[in-house]
Structure 1
């Protein structure tokens, strides 16, 4: 079976299908990422360091709603009496930050116009996040999913465990070229987010990697629920064709119907690009209300440089 999967991956150009060996190489890329950011950050690179965590320590930080498992000694009785809802005090503390990675490998991600498929980039981001988490001494786990099912990987702290996680990603990634239809994406994503909300407790760094092409109110509700007691990061995968179509006449199809498109007709090209930029701005602003940062990763650029750029900006 493993030999067959290797053959399938080897039958396609680089960037179409990713192998386990390719993902394992990302262990070396994380060596250049600083272990101690100057400020607390809510990113896929968060981990074991002095940060704004929900726990018991020396310096009072804030008050939040009580979560089962909190130390009862930290209950703020004044706020509880005033609001009628049990609240806990939050302190600065050095504490483990387990990472939970949600990796989309559905058919909608089997798309890329230049360097890599979105599905391959999703796998690369997951590998980078997993190796960095283990390097920090924290646990990592997650869910890899497509339209037909999912694989849950419990959190653990070892290179062999990361290899198991990446093996699951490689196996689902290898199935994508064999698919002949694209099924609705949003219901599958929502189901996985609902399950994620039942698996993570609190103080996790939850990284969701997808293209979020058609999210709905349920998607936002599930993410808001997870973010209530965890730090959530959305990695939004984009492609140059998402932002701009080639000039001239094009024939576009969804597999069933065709559309003749001309960028120069009725300012179609400008409207297409403007809609993409509006989507990015709206998505960023919408999730900012829930303290959920969104990082956009382009399939045409190296993943490592984009992650490092984002990490550097966050810590400035």
Structure 2
């Protein structure tokens, strides 16, 4: 992106997110993600004198000996934003590029967190970690998050979720809030994500392009795999072919969804068309309502 255009786009996102992140919005964010006075500290073996009401029966059954969960008074929870920058995130088939939407969402989430007095980190990854901005507060840090997302160089690479999530888990020991922004194409969800969600309040924001699940009608369509650069011709004139493509994409879509939910990760799907903020705001409201009902 040319420097002048980059500065203009960064400014546009700054203005857009600043207008949205009002006091009311910050309160909504806080109610959706901040815990009610206490946070989980550790899981440890029961010793005589411990309060038996703190026994965690799931862990007790699993380890065949009594374990308790301990909690401490809630302090500031750090916020970590992990963004997939593999090749598929810059493809622009129907609507805006996913990475552009990711920059807007990261700008909104980071500003909301900073105005809640939380520190924010940013990690950009594909087949390996490409960039990491450590936990920090402040307007300049927020601006840099947006700038890095819009200026990062993206290559024909697949995402290695296992390596990225394992690296994050090894480096992030204190409980926090994690937002993963990706299209999750080709994602292999394993124990590294389950380990993350056990320790952090984890939300996956999946960005979806229309052509991730549907093909246009026509003759022969030349397509390029954005993660490998390989091109091929697709017979989109064939209704049967388009139907098989849609069925396969739905199967992959549903499989990733189940893997995320089984890993205790909240999932929010956002399309590349229309307002990317509206689904996020509705997600905040739904999450707050769910937390209120569970109390």
Shorter-chain TM band: 0.7 to 0.9
Given candidates 221, 240, 247, the residue that maps to 2:191 is 221
Instruction: Report the 3-state secondary structure (helix = DSSP H, G, I; strand = E; otherwise coil) of the residue aligned with 2:140.
Output: helix
Q: Could you say if the C-alpha distance between residues 304 and 198 of structure 1 is closer, same or farther in structure 2, counting changes exceeding 3 Å?
A: same
1:268-294 per-residue CA deviation (whole Å, 9 max, x = no partner) reads: 333333333333333222222221111
Q: Report the counterpart of residue 21 of structure 1 in structure 2.
A: 11
- Native 8 Å contact 1:99 1:138 kept in 2: yes
Q: Could you say if the C-alpha distance between residues 85 and 192 of structure 1 is closer, same or farther in structure 2, counting changes exceeding 3 Å?
A: farther
Query: Where do 1:30-179 residues align within 5 Å?
Result: 30-31=21-22, 32-33=24-25, 35-36=27-28, 41=32, 46-47=33-34, 49-50=35-36, 53-55=39-41, 65-66=43-44, 83=63, 87-91=67-71, 93-146=73-126, 150-172=130-152, 175-176=153-154
Q: CA deviation at 1:92?
A: 8.3
Instruction: Report the 3-state secondary structure (helix = DSSP H, G, I; strand = E; otherwise coil) of the residue aligned with 1:169.
Output: helix
Q: CA deviation at 1:87?
A: 3.5
Q: CA deviation at 1:186?
A: 2.8
1:228-280 per-residue CA deviation (whole Å, 9 max, x = no partner) reads: 211111111110111221122232333544223225432x3333333333333
1:149-173 per-residue CA deviation (whole Å, 9 max, x = no partner) reads: 522111122222222322322320x
Query: Would you say 1:201 and 2:173 are equivalent positions?
Result: yes
Q: Distance in 1 between matches of 2:247 and 2:37?
A: 38
Equivalent pairs, count: 277
- Native 8 Å contact 2:218 2:237 kept in 1: yes
Q: CA deviation at 1:209?
A: 1.0
Q: CA deviation at 1:8?
A: 6.0
Q: Report the counterpart of residue 276 of structure 2 in structure 1.
A: 303
Q: Distance in 2 between matches of 1:234 and 1:209?
A: 6
Q: CA deviation at 1:131?
A: 0.6
- Native 8 Å contact 1:27 1:132 kept in 2: no
Q: Could you say if the C-alpha distance between residues 230 and 265 of structure 1 is closer, same or farther in structure 2, counting changes exceeding 3 Å?
A: same
Q: Report the counterpart of residue 234 of structure 1 in structure 2.
A: 204
- Native 8 Å contact 1:50 1:93 kept in 2: no
Query: Would you say 1:244 and 2:234 are equivalent positions?
Result: no
Which ranges of structure 1 fall in alignment gaps of 5 or more residues?
A: 11-17, 56-63
Q: CA deviation at 1:313?
A: 2.7
Q: Distance in 2 between matches of 1:272 and 1:27?
A: 40
- Native 8 Å contact 1:245 1:263 kept in 2: no
Q: Distance in 2 between matches of 1:163 and 1:235?
A: 21
Q: Could you say if the C-alpha distance between residues 89 and 81 of structure 1 is closer, same or farther in structure 2, counting changes exceeding 3 Å?
A: closer
> Normalising to structure 2: TM-score of the pair?
0.79
Q: Could you say if the C-alpha distance between residues 135 and 263 of structure 1 is closer, same or farther in structure 2, counting changes exceeding 3 Å?
A: farther
Q: CA deviation at 1:223?
A: 0.9
Question: How well do the aligned residues superpose, as a CA RMSD in angstroms?
Answer: 3.3
More deviation in 240-249 or 160-169?
Answer: 160-169
Q: Report the counterpart of residue 212 of structure 1 in structure 2.
A: 184
Q: Could you say if the C-alpha distance between residues 146 and 279 of structure 1 is closer, same or farther in structure 2, counting changes exceeding 3 Å?
A: closer
Q: Report the counterpart of residue 14 of structure 1 in structure 2.
A: none
Q: Report the counterpart of residue 282 of structure 1 in structure 2.
A: 255
Query: Would you say 1:6 and 2:3 are equivalent positions?
Result: yes
Q: Could you say if the C-alpha distance between residues 263 and 78 of structure 1 is closer, same or farther in structure 2, counting changes exceeding 3 Å?
A: closer
Q: Distance in 2 between matches of 1:51 and 1:223?
A: 26
Q: Could you say if the C-alpha distance between residues 87 and 210 of structure 1 is closer, same or farther in structure 2, counting changes exceeding 3 Å?
A: same
Instruction: Report the 3-state secondary structure (helix = DSSP H, G, I; strand = E; otherwise coil) of the residue aligned with 2:274.
Output: coil
Which ranges of structure 2 fall in alignment gaps of 5 or more residues?
A: 290-295
